[in-house]
A and B are shown apart, each in its own frame.
Chain A
């Protein structure tokens, strides 16, 4: 569907070939070997973390300000305990 509409596809998979006829513009192959019955996602997670590092860096000041806005929202809504407002315990 994506190809038909001309959209680009970035595929992160444990194989560069996932099915006949499916074409991805970019492929990041990850290892998912595990000692149990399911695939292990440590490798895929590491790749995503790296990609996020690049995207946030590429986002520059705009991304930084957006992240700060999320943080401010959480601070304002009391989602985090603030160390500077220490609850009194005992004394």
Chain B
């Protein structure tokens, strides 16, 4: 495999940036922080747009690439592009899961089963979410005067998240009930030992 296209190189590069950011000159550090925070955008955007978004000059990005040992900005961006497409994850196959299952590491078998379970429930849930159902739901939500989102107990966390992000698209999205329980209820056992 072309090392530039090795998706793992992105993880290594991000680790290098995180390790090195505190020793970089301020402008290079700003560029590094932008890449760490926005690897997807960095992979997609041309150099000038990245510079604008990060509030730095295009030249700073070129200097960061050189600082990291690349001969051009493009060479730095290439592995991020390779890792960007989520299809890349599927392309990796599931050897990693088989390797985890076979590993002697503590808890490896349980982690492999848990990971397999998560993959399965996500796949099944998304398979059932057909485009027709989704389009009908989006139409219902976007044409409603107000939308209320609700859930109970642990699934309230999902409702809260959906409301928090969804209100950006649907300003008339209401979370009901808005507050669950009382903080005091959960502090009932608070003592000097805490």
- Where the two chains meet, the residues of A that have a C-beta atom closer than 8 Å to any C-beta of B are 8, 10, 12, 25-35, 38-48, 50-52, 54-56, 58-59, 63, 66-67, 70, 82-84, 86, 89
Is residue B84 contacting chain A, with contact meaning CB distance below 8 A? no
Across the interface, do A32 and B121 meet the contact criterion of CB distance under 8 Å?
yes
Task: Pick 30 A–B contacts, CB within 8 A, sort by A.
Answer: A10-B137, A10-B141, A26-B133, A26-B136, A26-B137, A28-B129, A28-B133, A28-B137, A29-B125, A34-B117, A39-B154, A40-B118, A41-B158, A42-B122, A43-B125, A44-B158, A45-B158, A46-B125, A46-B126, A47-B125, A48-B158, A52-B165, A55-B138, A55-B141, A55-B166, A59-B142, A83-B29, A83-B37, A84-B56, A86-B30
B118 neighbours in A (Cβ, 8 Å): 40, 42
- Interface size (B, Cβ < 8 Å)? 46
B120 and A33: CB pair below 8 A?
yes
B70 in the interface (beta carbon within 8 A): no
Chain A residue at smallest Cβ distance from B30 = A83
Contact of A83 among B54, B136, B144, B161 (CB under 8 A): B54
Q: Which residue of A lies closest to B126 (CB)?
A: A46
Closest to A68 in B: B168
| B63 contacts the other chain (CB 8 A) | no
Taking chain B's interface residues, is the majority helix, strand, or loop, or is none over half, making it mixed? Answer: helix
A32 partner residues in chain B, CB cutoff 8 A: 121
B164: shortest Cβ distance to chain A, in Å? Answer: 10
Nearest-CB distance from B159 to chain A (Å)? Answer: 9
B160 to chain A, nearest CB (A): 11
- B141 partner residues in chain A, CB cutoff 8 A: 10, 55
